[in-house]
Amino acid sequence: MSLAYGFAAYGGPELQRFLDLPVPDPRPGEVLVEVRAAGVNPVDWKVRAGMQRAFLPLTLPAVLGREVAGTVLRTGPGVTGLAAGDRVFGSTVGGSGGYAERALLPVERAASMPEGLSFTDAAALPIAAATAHDALAALALTAGETLLILGAGGGVGTAAVQLALVGGARVVGLSSAAKQAPVEALGAAAVAYDRDDAPSRLRELLPDGARAVLDLVGGDALHGLTGLLTARTRVISVAAEETRARYGALPLSRTGDTATLSRLAGLVAGGRLDPCVRRVFPFAAAGEALALVEDGHATGKVVIDVTARAEGPDV
Protein backbone atom coordinates (compact mmCIF):
# COMPACT_ATOMS: atom_id res chain seq x y z
CA MET A 1 0.00 0.00 0.00
CA SER A 2 1.00 3.64 -0.49
CA LEU A 3 0.23 6.47 1.89
CA ALA A 4 -1.17 9.53 0.11
CA TYR A 5 -2.91 12.81 0.89
CA GLY A 6 -6.02 13.71 -1.04
CA PHE A 7 -9.79 14.03 -0.92
CA ALA A 8 -12.83 11.80 -1.26
CA ALA A 9 -15.32 14.48 -2.36
CA TYR A 10 -15.10 17.86 -4.05
CA GLY A 11 -15.29 20.90 -1.82
CA GLY A 12 -13.31 22.72 0.85
CA PRO A 13 -10.14 21.84 2.75
CA GLU A 14 -12.15 20.05 5.43
CA LEU A 15 -12.53 17.20 2.92
CA GLN A 16 -8.78 16.57 2.68
CA ARG A 17 -7.36 13.53 4.44
CA PHE A 18 -4.67 10.87 4.35
CA LEU A 19 -5.44 7.82 2.23
CA ASP A 20 -4.00 4.33 2.18
CA LEU A 21 -4.07 3.26 -1.47
CA PRO A 22 -2.78 0.36 -3.57
CA VAL A 23 0.57 1.00 -5.25
CA PRO A 24 -0.20 1.87 -8.89
CA ASP A 25 1.27 -0.14 -11.74
CA PRO A 26 3.05 1.79 -14.50
CA ARG A 27 1.39 1.47 -17.88
CA PRO A 28 3.16 1.78 -21.25
CA GLY A 29 5.18 5.01 -21.32
CA GLU A 30 5.04 5.49 -17.53
CA VAL A 31 7.40 5.06 -14.59
CA LEU A 32 6.55 4.37 -10.95
CA VAL A 33 8.46 6.69 -8.65
CA GLU A 34 9.23 6.55 -4.94
CA VAL A 35 8.43 10.16 -4.13
CA ARG A 36 10.95 12.13 -2.12
CA ALA A 37 9.42 15.60 -2.51
CA ALA A 38 6.20 17.05 -3.95
CA GLY A 39 5.57 20.60 -5.07
CA VAL A 40 2.47 22.51 -3.93
CA ASN A 41 0.60 24.75 -6.39
CA PRO A 42 -2.63 26.78 -6.50
CA VAL A 43 -4.04 24.33 -9.04
CA ASP A 44 -4.00 21.66 -6.31
CA TRP A 45 -6.72 23.28 -4.22
CA LYS A 46 -8.64 24.24 -7.36
CA VAL A 47 -8.75 20.58 -8.34
CA ARG A 48 -10.03 19.67 -4.87
CA ALA A 49 -12.65 22.43 -5.08
CA GLY A 50 -13.97 20.94 -8.32
CA MET A 51 -12.91 23.87 -10.51
CA GLN A 52 -11.02 21.60 -12.94
CA ARG A 53 -13.59 18.83 -13.37
CA ALA A 54 -14.52 19.84 -16.93
CA PHE A 55 -11.11 18.95 -18.32
CA LEU A 56 -9.57 16.87 -15.51
CA PRO A 57 -12.08 14.18 -14.53
CA LEU A 58 -10.98 12.18 -11.50
CA THR A 59 -11.98 8.92 -9.88
CA LEU A 60 -12.51 9.65 -6.18
CA PRO A 61 -10.82 9.38 -3.79
CA ALA A 62 -8.08 11.32 -5.57
CA VAL A 63 -4.55 12.27 -4.56
CA LEU A 64 -3.52 15.93 -4.53
CA GLY A 65 -0.48 17.39 -6.28
CA ARG A 66 0.97 17.32 -9.80
CA GLU A 67 4.77 17.61 -9.48
CA VAL A 68 7.26 15.31 -7.79
CA ALA A 69 10.89 14.32 -7.52
CA GLY A 70 12.06 10.89 -6.49
CA THR A 71 13.60 7.59 -7.53
CA VAL A 72 12.32 5.24 -10.22
CA LEU A 73 11.01 1.97 -8.79
CA ARG A 74 9.63 0.32 -11.93
CA THR A 75 9.17 1.17 -15.59
CA GLY A 76 6.17 0.41 -17.74
CA PRO A 77 6.28 -1.45 -21.07
CA GLY A 78 8.20 0.31 -23.82
CA VAL A 79 10.02 2.75 -21.54
CA THR A 80 13.60 3.50 -22.54
CA GLY A 81 16.11 5.97 -21.16
CA LEU A 82 14.99 5.54 -17.54
CA ALA A 83 15.57 2.59 -15.22
CA ALA A 84 15.00 1.56 -11.63
CA GLY A 85 17.19 3.61 -9.30
CA ASP A 86 17.33 6.72 -11.50
CA ARG A 87 16.67 10.08 -9.83
CA VAL A 88 13.88 11.82 -11.74
CA PHE A 89 11.40 14.67 -11.51
CA GLY A 90 8.35 15.69 -13.49
CA SER A 91 4.56 16.07 -13.69
CA THR A 92 2.37 13.19 -12.63
CA VAL A 93 0.08 11.17 -14.86
CA GLY A 94 -3.43 12.61 -14.99
CA GLY A 95 -5.35 11.21 -12.04
CA SER A 96 -2.16 10.20 -10.20
CA GLY A 97 -1.36 12.79 -7.54
CA GLY A 98 2.01 13.73 -6.13
CA TYR A 99 1.34 14.03 -2.39
CA ALA A 100 2.10 10.36 -2.00
CA GLU A 101 4.77 7.80 -1.26
CA ARG A 102 4.40 6.44 -4.81
CA ALA A 103 3.39 8.25 -8.00
CA LEU A 104 3.29 7.68 -11.74
CA LEU A 105 5.13 9.90 -14.23
CA PRO A 106 4.74 9.84 -18.01
CA VAL A 107 8.19 9.61 -19.59
CA GLU A 108 7.47 12.55 -21.90
CA ARG A 109 7.02 14.82 -18.86
CA ALA A 110 9.87 13.45 -16.75
CA ALA A 111 13.61 14.14 -16.71
CA SER A 112 16.71 12.83 -15.00
CA MET A 113 18.13 14.92 -12.16
CA PRO A 114 21.67 16.22 -12.63
CA GLU A 115 24.23 16.11 -9.83
CA GLY A 116 23.84 19.05 -7.49
CA LEU A 117 20.04 19.25 -7.81
CA SER A 118 18.19 18.41 -4.59
CA PHE A 119 14.84 16.60 -4.51
CA THR A 120 13.11 19.63 -2.94
CA ASP A 121 14.41 21.97 -5.63
CA ALA A 122 13.58 19.51 -8.41
CA ALA A 123 10.01 19.15 -7.15
CA ALA A 124 9.53 22.91 -7.53
CA LEU A 125 10.25 22.93 -11.28
CA PRO A 126 7.71 20.88 -13.30
CA ILE A 127 4.69 23.19 -12.86
CA ALA A 128 5.78 26.71 -11.88
CA ALA A 129 9.16 26.99 -13.58
CA ALA A 130 8.04 25.08 -16.67
CA THR A 131 4.98 27.33 -16.98
CA ALA A 132 7.19 30.41 -16.73
CA HIS A 133 9.57 28.96 -19.32
CA ASP A 134 6.79 28.30 -21.84
CA ALA A 135 5.17 31.70 -21.24
CA LEU A 136 8.42 33.53 -21.97
CA ALA A 137 8.94 31.43 -25.09
CA ALA A 138 5.47 32.44 -26.30
CA LEU A 139 6.14 36.11 -25.56
CA ALA A 140 9.34 35.83 -27.63
CA LEU A 141 11.25 38.37 -25.55
CA THR A 142 14.51 39.67 -26.92
CA ALA A 143 17.44 41.11 -24.99
CA GLY A 144 16.74 44.65 -23.84
CA GLU A 145 12.94 44.43 -23.97
CA THR A 146 10.91 45.14 -20.84
CA LEU A 147 8.63 42.51 -19.31
CA LEU A 148 5.96 43.46 -16.77
CA ILE A 149 4.94 40.55 -14.53
CA LEU A 150 1.70 40.79 -12.54
CA GLY A 151 1.99 38.45 -9.55
CA ALA A 152 5.79 38.35 -9.56
CA GLY A 153 6.06 37.03 -6.00
CA GLY A 154 4.48 33.61 -6.52
CA GLY A 155 5.95 30.36 -7.79
CA VAL A 156 5.50 31.07 -11.50
CA GLY A 157 6.35 34.74 -11.04
CA THR A 158 9.68 34.24 -9.29
CA ALA A 159 10.74 31.74 -11.96
CA ALA A 160 9.63 34.09 -14.76
CA VAL A 161 11.60 36.99 -13.29
CA GLN A 162 14.81 34.97 -13.29
CA LEU A 163 14.35 33.31 -16.68
CA ALA A 164 13.59 36.66 -18.32
CA LEU A 165 16.71 38.18 -16.78
CA VAL A 166 18.79 35.21 -17.95
CA GLY A 167 17.52 36.00 -21.45
CA GLY A 168 18.64 39.61 -21.18
CA ALA A 169 15.24 41.24 -20.65
CA ARG A 170 14.49 44.03 -18.17
CA VAL A 171 11.84 43.03 -15.64
CA VAL A 172 9.30 45.02 -13.66
CA GLY A 173 7.49 42.89 -11.10
CA LEU A 174 4.13 43.79 -9.56
CA SER A 175 3.38 42.08 -6.25
CA SER A 176 2.06 42.73 -2.77
CA ALA A 177 4.17 44.93 -0.52
CA ALA A 178 5.00 41.85 1.58
CA LYS A 179 6.62 40.20 -1.45
CA GLN A 180 8.31 43.32 -2.87
CA ALA A 181 11.70 42.74 -1.23
CA PRO A 182 12.02 39.11 -2.43
CA VAL A 183 11.12 40.19 -5.98
CA GLU A 184 13.75 42.93 -5.88
CA ALA A 185 16.31 40.44 -4.56
CA LEU A 186 15.84 38.43 -7.75
CA GLY A 187 16.86 41.44 -9.84
CA ALA A 188 13.53 42.94 -10.90
CA ALA A 189 12.31 46.48 -10.36
CA ALA A 190 9.50 45.74 -7.89
CA VAL A 191 6.25 47.65 -7.46
CA ALA A 192 3.73 46.99 -4.67
CA TYR A 193 0.18 47.01 -6.07
CA ASP A 194 -1.26 47.60 -2.60
CA ARG A 195 0.49 50.93 -2.13
CA ASP A 196 -0.96 54.27 -3.23
CA ASP A 197 2.02 55.16 -5.40
CA ALA A 198 1.78 52.00 -7.55
CA PRO A 199 0.31 53.71 -10.66
CA SER A 200 2.86 56.52 -10.65
CA ARG A 201 5.69 54.09 -9.95
CA LEU A 202 4.69 51.95 -12.93
CA ARG A 203 4.54 54.99 -15.21
CA GLU A 204 7.98 56.01 -14.00
CA LEU A 205 9.47 52.58 -14.70
CA LEU A 206 7.60 52.11 -17.98
CA PRO A 207 7.52 55.55 -19.66
CA ASP A 208 7.08 53.95 -23.09
CA GLY A 209 4.79 51.17 -21.90
CA ALA A 210 5.61 47.49 -21.55
CA ARG A 211 6.72 45.47 -24.55
CA ALA A 212 5.40 42.29 -22.93
CA VAL A 213 3.09 41.49 -20.00
CA LEU A 214 2.75 38.23 -18.10
CA ASP A 215 -0.45 38.42 -16.06
CA LEU A 216 -0.48 35.74 -13.35
CA VAL A 217 -3.21 37.45 -11.33
CA GLY A 218 -6.22 37.46 -13.65
CA GLY A 219 -9.50 39.12 -12.81
CA ASP A 220 -9.40 42.84 -13.50
CA ALA A 221 -5.63 43.15 -13.17
CA LEU A 222 -5.12 44.09 -16.82
CA HIS A 223 -7.72 46.86 -16.55
CA GLY A 224 -5.39 48.72 -14.19
CA LEU A 225 -2.67 49.03 -16.81
CA THR A 226 -4.26 51.85 -18.79
CA GLY A 227 -1.57 53.69 -20.71
CA LEU A 228 1.01 50.94 -20.26
CA LEU A 229 -0.39 48.60 -22.90
CA THR A 230 0.25 49.68 -26.47
CA ALA A 231 -0.73 48.17 -29.79
CA ARG A 232 2.64 46.41 -29.83
CA THR A 233 2.43 44.97 -26.30
CA ARG A 234 2.41 41.19 -26.24
CA VAL A 235 0.29 39.77 -23.40
CA ILE A 236 -0.19 36.36 -21.78
CA SER A 237 -2.85 36.20 -19.08
CA VAL A 238 -4.70 33.84 -16.75
CA ALA A 239 -7.77 36.09 -17.00
CA ALA A 240 -11.07 34.92 -18.43
CA GLU A 241 -11.37 34.51 -22.19
CA GLU A 242 -13.43 37.70 -22.57
CA THR A 243 -10.75 39.77 -20.84
CA ARG A 244 -7.98 38.15 -22.86
CA ALA A 245 -9.81 38.94 -26.08
CA ARG A 246 -10.11 42.59 -25.10
CA TYR A 247 -6.33 42.87 -24.80
CA GLY A 248 -5.34 40.40 -27.49
CA ALA A 249 -3.80 38.18 -24.84
CA LEU A 250 -2.79 34.55 -25.17
CA PRO A 251 -3.76 32.07 -22.42
CA LEU A 252 -1.14 30.73 -20.03
CA SER A 253 -0.16 27.18 -20.96
CA ARG A 254 2.53 24.62 -20.22
CA THR A 255 3.96 21.53 -21.89
CA GLY A 256 6.55 20.61 -19.27
CA ASP A 257 8.27 18.21 -21.64
CA THR A 258 11.55 16.46 -20.95
CA ALA A 259 13.67 18.97 -22.88
CA THR A 260 12.23 21.91 -20.93
CA LEU A 261 12.68 20.16 -17.58
CA SER A 262 16.28 19.25 -18.42
CA ARG A 263 17.08 22.84 -19.34
CA LEU A 264 15.56 24.14 -16.10
CA ALA A 265 17.42 21.54 -14.04
CA GLY A 266 20.66 22.56 -15.72
CA LEU A 267 20.06 26.21 -14.88
CA VAL A 268 19.45 25.34 -11.22
CA ALA A 269 22.47 23.06 -11.02
CA GLY A 270 24.57 25.79 -12.65
CA GLY A 271 23.45 28.43 -10.16
CA ARG A 272 21.53 30.52 -12.71
CA LEU A 273 18.00 29.72 -11.47
CA ASP A 274 16.79 29.63 -7.88
CA PRO A 275 13.61 27.53 -7.55
CA CYS A 276 12.76 29.83 -4.63
CA VAL A 277 11.66 27.06 -2.30
CA ARG A 278 10.77 29.13 0.74
CA ARG A 279 8.87 26.58 2.86
CA VAL A 280 9.33 22.83 3.20
CA PHE A 281 6.67 20.92 5.16
CA PRO A 282 6.87 17.33 6.42
CA PHE A 283 4.42 14.90 4.87
CA ALA A 284 2.37 14.88 8.07
CA ALA A 285 1.68 18.61 7.53
CA ALA A 286 0.60 18.34 3.88
CA GLY A 287 -2.69 20.04 4.70
CA GLU A 288 -0.88 23.01 6.23
CA ALA A 289 1.30 23.32 3.14
CA LEU A 290 -1.71 23.49 0.85
CA ALA A 291 -3.51 25.90 3.19
CA LEU A 292 -0.60 28.34 2.95
CA VAL A 293 -0.80 28.30 -0.84
CA GLU A 294 -4.61 28.44 -0.89
CA ASP A 295 -4.58 31.51 1.37
CA GLY A 296 -2.36 33.28 -1.15
CA HIS A 297 0.31 34.18 1.38
CA ALA A 298 3.13 32.00 0.05
CA THR A 299 6.19 33.68 -1.44
CA GLY A 300 8.02 31.55 -3.97
CA LYS A 301 7.48 27.79 -3.78
CA VAL A 302 6.13 25.48 -1.09
CA VAL A 303 7.30 21.86 -1.11
CA ILE A 304 6.34 18.76 0.88
CA ASP A 305 9.18 16.50 2.02
CA VAL A 306 7.46 13.13 1.70
CA THR A 307 10.30 11.38 3.52
CA ALA A 308 9.87 13.58 6.63
CA ARG A 309 7.32 11.60 8.61
CA ALA A 310 8.71 11.54 12.13
CA GLU A 311 5.24 12.41 13.40
CA GLY A 312 3.31 10.64 10.67
CA PRO A 313 -0.47 10.84 10.42
CA ASP A 314 -2.86 8.36 11.91
CA VAL A 315 -4.43 6.59 8.91
- Each residue's pLDDT expressed in tens, for the chain with a length of 315 residues: 889 999 999 999 999 999 999 998 999 999 999 999 999 998 999 999 988 887 777 889 999 999 999 999 999 999 998 999 999 999 999 878 999 999 999 999 999 999 989 999 999 999 999 999 999 999 998 888 999 999 998 889 999 999 999 999 999 999 988 888 989 999 999 998 888 888 889 999 999 888 899 999 888 888 888 788 888 899 999 999 999 999 899 998 888 899 999 999 999 999 999 998 989 999 999 999 999 999 877 777 899 999 986 444 433
* CB-count exposure of residue 138 (10 Å: 0-12, 13-18, 19+): middle
User: In this structure, how many other beta carbons lie within 10 angstroms of the beta carbon of residue 245?
Assistant: 10
The pLDDT, as a whole number, for residue 296 is 78
The pLDDT, as a whole number, for residue 102 is 96
SS3 280: strand
The pLDDT, as a whole number, for residue 112 is 96
Tell which CATH architecture fits domain 132-251. Answer: 3-Layer(aba) Sandwich (3.40)
The pLDDT, as a whole number, for residue 309 is 62
Q: By the 8 A CB rule, do 193 and 172 touch?
A: no
The pLDDT, as a whole number, for residue 305 is 97
Residue 273: name the closest of 154, 164, 176 by CA.
164
**Which contacts of 292-298 are long-range, i.e. CB under 8 A and separated by 24 or more positions?**
292/40, 293/40, 293/41, 293/42, 293/44, 293/45, 294/13, 294/42, 294/45, 297/178, 298/40, 298/154, 298/155
The pLDDT, as a whole number, for residue 265 is 96
CA distances from residue 190 to 125, 185, 197, 233, 274 in whole angstroms, order as listed: 23, 9, 12, 20, 18
The pLDDT, as a whole number, for residue 150 is 94
Q: By the 8 A CB rule, do 50 and 315 touch?
A: no
Considering the domain 2-124+275-305 in this protein, what is its CATH number?
3.90.180.10
Q: How far apart are the first and last CA of the chain?
A: 12
Q: By the 8 A CB rule, do 69 and 89 touch?
A: yes
Q: How far apart are CA 26 and CA 49, in angstroms?
A: 28
Ramachandran assignment for 148, one of left (phi > 0), alpha (psi -120 to 50 degrees), beta (any other): beta
Q: How far apart are CA 213 and CA 224, in angstroms?
A: 13
Sign of CA dihedral 108, 111, 265, 175: positive
Q: How far apart are CA 212 and CA 150, in angstroms?
A: 11
Sort strands 16-21 and 30-40 into parallel, antiparallel or unpaired: unpaired
Domain segments of the chain as ranges: 2-124+275-305, 132-251
DSSP state of 274: -
User: In this structure, how many other beta carbons lie within 10 angstroms of the beta carbon of residue 307?
Assistant: 15
The pLDDT, as a whole number, for residue 310 is 43
The pLDDT, as a whole number, for residue 267 is 94
The pLDDT, as a whole number, for residue 224 is 84
Per-residue b/e over 184-209, b at no fewer than 16 CB within 10 Å? bebebbbbbbeeeeebebbeebbeeb
